[in-house]
């Protein structure tokens, strides 16, 4: 028993506390802490940095400590979501979470050298969802003794050929190829300096888990050719001799550019504290091209599929369109987009309810040296219709890398652009590396449009991609665009970025979903209710995500509010928020606080409601006099109310204002659209909203009044008019949609908390073409 008492005393003594009495967190606990909490209001495009200095690091003794015996701050990996610990067991009858038992049992040995590479951007045992991951790291302490050299990445179980990445003043970036499941990576630093060289290896291990996503729609990659295209692209003669300019080369370069888009976006989303979420690609089993060694050896890999699609137009017809962005009327600029859309639609043949996200490379783009125009090219993107499409030309393609080994050489190649063969796009592609920035970056800009992003005040959607090279290299060469020498070392703050508003859209986009996200809601709509005291109540079934604020004359959004208070992947957004005009104006600079104020409100389903003028919305036009000196408020109007012969309609429900009236049923008159609603009471009276058209006698929905069932609201299908309507009750019952269940878009009309239905207003022509709910306190 004495032995057990001694053990118990030792066990208690093993728990150390800080002077305040709080238990000191272990390294594992620290790695599981969430990043800094987001501010609710953003007026800047700079995301909260996830690469932050700490007072110490667990896997490296600082050089300054070696030199002086003191410890100085150096950077360590940012806090990320912890990996659940799963106990080892021989049983495998179930699968829990996303953690592999093998990954949780890996223990990384501590580096023995002060020059061992240290990964800053991705913490140990993190979970990611992409094949090519961007890493940022350091060698030693850059402030004490910056060093140059190279870092070699040895991939998990030699599943991918080792890659080498330059180190500039102790900073390096690397693109690592991951296999599904746990990946144990070794990073080895070498330098030509004798003071650094030694018999011991400057190496470190880093474990990263990869979970490929398959339950989100992919971004399809298409190379589009004319029906008689030779399948070649513009390139210098010596480049053609070295690597050819045929269709096979174009596919390899396009695939590598797409993986660079993905690596860049995944890292940006993490810096915006939205996890390592990103779009995925449809993949197929083919000869690998991400490594030049796989291509040479013919090794089969699962990599992004490139669809080769031909149009019914000839090369001459495409080039004769003369639709380069800087020439021709606007109607002709859209013509190539229509041709691409027709070809892609014919190729994929999506069903009416299926959405496809397609990025197109126009291979027959050509620099016409006579007219100084890029023919057969257009840079356009659209997120409307079933096929969301982005198109871009191939005039910069020769400068793209075709594999991971060529990424750094491509972004550091200072060869001048020879305009006898190649276009200097917008005067910003005067050298090969700048041409790669323009081609890869501007195409990504159009992909941003495809995902619903408008132009922004900064970032990729504002031509910030001229700095795209800094994301993948540690040093920048001379720039013909700025006529100056580039950065000696490219740090995270120097990089191109996605604007915060872009990241917010991606956070809720179906292509960026994570397994831990809440299920998507079928209703994307937003309802706005102006009520008393100048308040605006905003409700959305999928949650209110963010609000963009515009003043008179603003083409871009400079101020916005977001309602994401946690970086947890499955965190929800509020379904109801309250704002006032004065609160909104306080977010604006003094010179604009009295200007006309407009809003765009976005839901968690990326539905949008636009308010052109907040002052009009909250004016007397939105309020209605009710019986007994009460005041009612009109909600968002559905339908355009523009039908020939359309007349205003309004009813106040008798059952709300007369205690003896009991609503027993609602008759719905409809055909392929809503004609009218008749509210029937227990005393055999009724009220008609709209008219008795469509199906003779209509359809009747009866309430269970003996149990106290009452009308809760409506689910409405609406576009230019009211296509259909569904009755919702306090018991959770639904009538089903009367009318056209697939017409228009869906909108849930339920009064905000603290309010109830008072009546309906709208308009009716040949059928209902306007509808809004009147609410009261």
Catalytic positions are 446
* Locus of tokens 């149990």: 707
List 307's β-bridge partners, or say none.
222
User: Which pair of tokens denotes residue 352?
Assistant: 């009416």
- b or e along 412-424 (b: 16 or more beta carbons within 10 Å of the residue's beta carbon)? bbeeebeeeebbb
Determine the longest span between alpha carbons in the chain, in angstroms: 100
CA–CA separation, 632 and 725 (whole Å): 23
Report the candidate in 424, 454, 567, 437 with the shortest Cα–Cα distance to residue 495.
Answer: 437
CA–CA separation, 673 and 742 (whole Å): 11
Phi first, then psi: what are they for 388, rounded to 5°?
A: -90, 120
* Locus of tokens 């495998």: 92
Binning the chain into helix, strand and coil, the percentages to the nearest 5 are 25, 30, 50
Cβ atoms of 155 and 404 closer than 8 Å: no
User: Which pair of tokens denotes residue 40?
Assistant: 């609710």
- b or e along 701-712 (b: 16 or more beta carbons within 10 Å of the residue's beta carbon)? bebeeeeebebb
Q: What is the 3-state secondary structure (H, E, C) of 425-451?
A: HHHCCCEHHHHHHHHHHHHHHHHHHHC
List 530's β-bridge partners, or say none.
536
CA–CA separation, 218 and 304 (whole Å): 10
CA–CA separation, 466 and 434 (whole Å): 7
Phi first, then psi: what are they for 347, rounded to 5°?
A: -75, -50
User: Which pair of tokens denotes residue 15?
Assistant: 């728990």
Q: Which 3 state secondary structure label does DSSP give 206?
A: strand
Report the candidate in 550, 680, 561 with the shortest Cα–Cα distance to residue 611.
Answer: 550
Q: Which 3 state secondary structure label does DSSP give 31?
A: helix
- Measure the N-to-C terminal CA separation of the chain; round to a whole number of Å: 71
Pairing of strands 663-670, 674-681: antiparallel
Cβ atoms of 634 and 750 closer than 8 Å: no
* Locus of tokens 């132009």: 455
CA–CA separation, 612 and 609 (whole Å): 10
Cβ atoms of 149 and 189 closer than 8 Å: yes
CA–CA separation, 686 and 663 (whole Å): 9
CA–CA separation, 722 and 677 (whole Å): 12
Cβ atoms of 50 and 33 closer than 8 Å: no
Give the DSSP letter of residue 555. S
CA–CA separation, 317 and 364 (whole Å): 11
- Angle among Cα 145, 148, 154 to the nearest 5 degrees reads 120
Cβ atoms of 637 and 665 closer than 8 Å: no
Phi first, then psi: what are they for 68, rounded to 5°?
A: -120, -5
Exposed, middle or buried, 716 (CB in 10 Å: 0-12/13-18/19+)?
Answer: buried
List 136's β-bridge partners, or say none.
173
């Amino acid at each position: 028993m004495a032995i057990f008492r001694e053990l118990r005393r030792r066990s208690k003594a093993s728990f150390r506390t800080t002077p305040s009495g709080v238990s000191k967190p272990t390294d594992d606990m620290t790695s599981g802490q969430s990043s800094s909490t987001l501010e609710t209001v953003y007026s800047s495009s700079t995301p909260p940095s996830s690469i932050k200095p700490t007072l110490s690091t667990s896997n490296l003794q600082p050089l300054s400590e070696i030199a002086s015996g003191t410890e100085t701050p150096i950077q360590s990996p940012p806090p990320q979501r912890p990996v659940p610990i799963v106990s080892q067991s021989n049983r495998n009858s179930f699968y829990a979470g996303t953690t592999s038992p093998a990954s949780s049992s890996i223990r990384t040995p501590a580096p023995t050298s002060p020059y061992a590479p240290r990964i800053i951007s991705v913490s140990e045992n993190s979970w990611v969802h992409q094949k090519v991951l961007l890493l940022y790291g350091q060698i030693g302490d850059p402030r004490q003794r910056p060093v140059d050299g190279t870092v070699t990445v040895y991939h998990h179980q030699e599943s991918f050929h080792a890659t080498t990445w330059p180190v500039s003043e102790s900073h390096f970036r690397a693109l690592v190829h991951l296999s599904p499941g746990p990946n144990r990576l070794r990073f080895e630093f070498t330098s030509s300096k004798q003071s650094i060289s030694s018999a011991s290896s400057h190496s470190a291990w880093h474990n990263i888990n990869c979970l490929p996503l398959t339950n989100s729609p992919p971004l399809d990659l298409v190379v589009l050719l004319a029906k008689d295209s030779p399948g070649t692209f513009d390139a210098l003669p010596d480049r053609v001799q070295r690597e050819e300019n045929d269709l096979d080369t174009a596919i390899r370069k396009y695939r590598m550019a797409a993986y660079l888009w993905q690596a860049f976006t995944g890292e940006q989303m993490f810096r915006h504290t939205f996890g390592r979420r990103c779009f995925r690609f449809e993949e197929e089993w083919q000869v690998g091209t991400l490594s030049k060694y796989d291509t040479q050896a013919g090794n089969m890999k699962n990599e992004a599929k490139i669809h080769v699609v031909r149009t019914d137009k000839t090369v001459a017809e495409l080039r004769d369109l003369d639709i380069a962005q800087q020439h021709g009327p606007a109607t002709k600029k859209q013509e190539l987009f229509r041709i691409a859309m027709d070809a892609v639609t014919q190729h994929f043949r999506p069903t009416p309810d299926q959405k496809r996200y397609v990025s197109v490379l126009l291979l027959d783009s050509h620099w016409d040296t006579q007219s100084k125009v890029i023919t057969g090219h257009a840079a356009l993107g659209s997120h409307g219709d079933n096929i969301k499409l982005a198109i871009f030309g191939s005039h910069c393609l020769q400068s793209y890398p075709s594999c991971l080994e060529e990424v750094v050489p491509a972004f550091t190649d200072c060869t001048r652009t020879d305009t006898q063969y190649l276009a200097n796009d917008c005067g910003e592609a005067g050298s090969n590396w700048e041409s790669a920035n323009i081609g890869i970056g501007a195409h990504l800009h159009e992909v941003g449009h495809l995902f619903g992003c408008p132009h922004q005040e900064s970032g990729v959607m504002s031509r910030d991609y001229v700095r795209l090279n800094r994301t993948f290299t540690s040093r920048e060469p001379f720039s013909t665009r700025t006529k100056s020498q580039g950065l000696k070392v490219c740090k995270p703050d120097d990089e191109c970025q996605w604007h915060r508003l872009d990241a917010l859209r991606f956070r809720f986009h179906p292509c960026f979903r994570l397994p831990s996200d809440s299920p998507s809601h079928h209703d994307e709509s937003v309802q706005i209710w102006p009520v008393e005291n100048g308040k605006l109540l905003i409700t959305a079934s999928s949650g209110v995500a963010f609000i963009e604020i515009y003043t008179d004359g603003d083409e871009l959004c400079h101020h916005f509010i977001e309602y994401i208070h946690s970086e947890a992947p499955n965190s929800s957004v509020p379904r109801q928020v309250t704002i006032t005009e004065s609160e909104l104006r306080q977010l604006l600079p003094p010179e604009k606080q009295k200007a006309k104020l407009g809003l765009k409100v976005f839901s968690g389903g990326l539905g949008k409601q636009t308010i052109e003028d907040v002052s009009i919305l909250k004016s007397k036009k939105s309020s209605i006099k009710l019986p007994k000196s009460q005041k009612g408020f009109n909600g968002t109007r559905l339908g355009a109310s523009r039908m020939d012969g359309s007349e205003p309609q309004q009813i106040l429900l008798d059952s709300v204002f007369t205690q003896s009236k009991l609503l027993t049923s609602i008759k719905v008159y409809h055909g392929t659209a809503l004609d009218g609603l008749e509210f029937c009471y227990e005393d055999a009276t009724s009220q008609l909203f709209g008219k008795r058209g469509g199906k003779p006698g209509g359809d009747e929905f009866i309430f269970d009044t003996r149990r106290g069932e009452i009308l809760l609201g409506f689910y409405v299908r609406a576009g230019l008019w009211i296509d259909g309507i569904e009755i919702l009750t306090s018991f959770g019952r639904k009538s089903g949609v009367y009318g056209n269940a697939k017409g228009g878009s869906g909108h849930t009309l339920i009064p905000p908390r603290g309010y109830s239905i008072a009546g309906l207003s709208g308009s009716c022509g040949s059928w209902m073409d306007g509808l809004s709910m009147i609410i009261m306190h």
